[in-house]
């Protein structure tokens, strides 16, 4: 007779064919519940190191799902295919404005701006922000070949940003923050995702093949995981458990709540 250890994976394989997946959407209300700390999926991380001394990893930018139609050098517009042939081997930083990448924009006080950093190889680098006062802030991150960042307009005036990786500086982008009432950016620009199941327990959720969330992260194996992603862009969501697999890439709007029921 086959043991339960042998039969259980077969049961999950049969089970995965009968499960139905459904997304629902609504407004974020109250504090955002988070299941636990995110871990880095090192098997798909392009070699991101582990340990307490490792720099924080930036969110990977899914170029296939969010490829711009045009890139602007000042007022000069070039196609993205032409741009890629021009910058081979360079570190670059861009303002992601819908389907266009730019080097300059304005931002109301307290609002956010989406940035995309590109580099030939994944690795550590320093993001530098020059404030209107002339002071600088340098933060060390782990960059993927395409990384997504958010700028918070917390101080009126001109902000200049660039990054240095492998001793090579990127181009600079300029963001002019205009006056207004500052709103603390606790969850600005984020979308909340909850994955829940009445059948599966102990599953993992991978976001953009980069970040891993586990059912056990909140201390309970209860079939529910909640986490946030950067809003107003596409993300690949993969739910895995034994023989069960669900993968979908979809758009998540900032300030919205999404629930995947399995």
Highest mean pLDDT: which of 83-87, 146-150, 176-180? 146-150
pLDDT band at 3 (very low <50, low <70, confident <90, very high): low
E strand or H helix that includes residue 66: helix 63-66
Distance, CA of 203 to CA of 225 (rounded, Å): 9
pLDDT tens string 93-131: 999 887 889 999 998 887 788 899 999 999 999 999 999
Domain ranges (residues) in the chain: 4-43+189-261, 61-178
Q: Which residue in 36, 23, 34 sits closest to 259, CA to CA? A: 23
pLDDT at 135: 92
Has residue 22 got a pLDDT over 90? Answer: no
pLDDT at 161 over 90: yes
What is the residue whose two structure tokens read 């991380």? 45
Describe the strand order of the beta sheet including 244-252 as a list of residue ranges: 39-40, 211-214, 204-207, 233-241, 244-252
Of 19-28, 30-39, 156-165, which gets the smallest average pLDDT? 30-39
Going by C-alpha positions, the residue among 195, 113, 181, 119 that lies closest to residue 149 is 113
Which class would CATH give 61-178?
mainly beta
Per-residue pLDDT, 36 = 42
> pLDDT tens digits, residue range 45-102?
334 444 445 677 888 887 877 788 889 988 888 888 888 888 778 899 999 887 889 9
Helix (H) or strand (E) holding 225: strand 224-230
> What pLDDT score does 39 carry?
38
Its pTM stands at 0.56
Q: Is the dihedral of CA 176, 178, 182, 184 positive or negative?
A: negative
In angstroms, the CA 133 to CA 159 distance is 9
Look-up: residue for tokens 């861009």? 94
């Amino acid at each position: 007779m086959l043991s339960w250890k042998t039969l259980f994976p077969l049961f999950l394989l049969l089970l995965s064919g009968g499960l139905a997946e459904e997304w629902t959407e609504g407004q974020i209300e109250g504090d955002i519940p988070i299941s636990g700390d995110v871990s880095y999926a090192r098997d798909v991380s392009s070699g991101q190191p582990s340990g307490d001394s490792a720099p924080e990893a930036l969110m990977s930018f899914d170029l296939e799902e969010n490829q711009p139609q045009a890139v602007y050098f000042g007022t000069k517009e070039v196609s993205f295919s032409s741009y890629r042939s021009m910058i081979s081997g360079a570190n670059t930083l861009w303002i992601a404005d819908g389907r266009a990448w730019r080097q300059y924009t304005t931002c109301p006080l307290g609002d956010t701006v989406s940035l995309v950093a590109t580099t030939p190889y994944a690795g550590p680098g320093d993001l530098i922000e020059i404030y209107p006062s002339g002071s600088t802030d340098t933060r060390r991150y782990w960059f993927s070949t395409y990384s997504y960042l958010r700028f918070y307009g917390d101080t009126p005036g001109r902000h200049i940003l660039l990054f240095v990786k492998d001793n090579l500086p990127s181009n600079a982008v300029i963001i002019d923050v205009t006056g207004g009432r500052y709103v603390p950016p606790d969850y600005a620009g984020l979308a909340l995702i909850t994955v829940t199941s009445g059948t599966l327990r102990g599953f993992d959720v991978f976001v953009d093949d980069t970040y891993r969330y586990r059912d056990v992260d909140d201390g309970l194996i209860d079939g529910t995981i909640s986490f946030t992603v950067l809003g107003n862009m596409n993300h690949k969501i993969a739910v895995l458990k034994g023989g069960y697999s669900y993968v979908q890439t979809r758009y998540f709007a900032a300030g919205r709540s999404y629930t995947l029921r399995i």
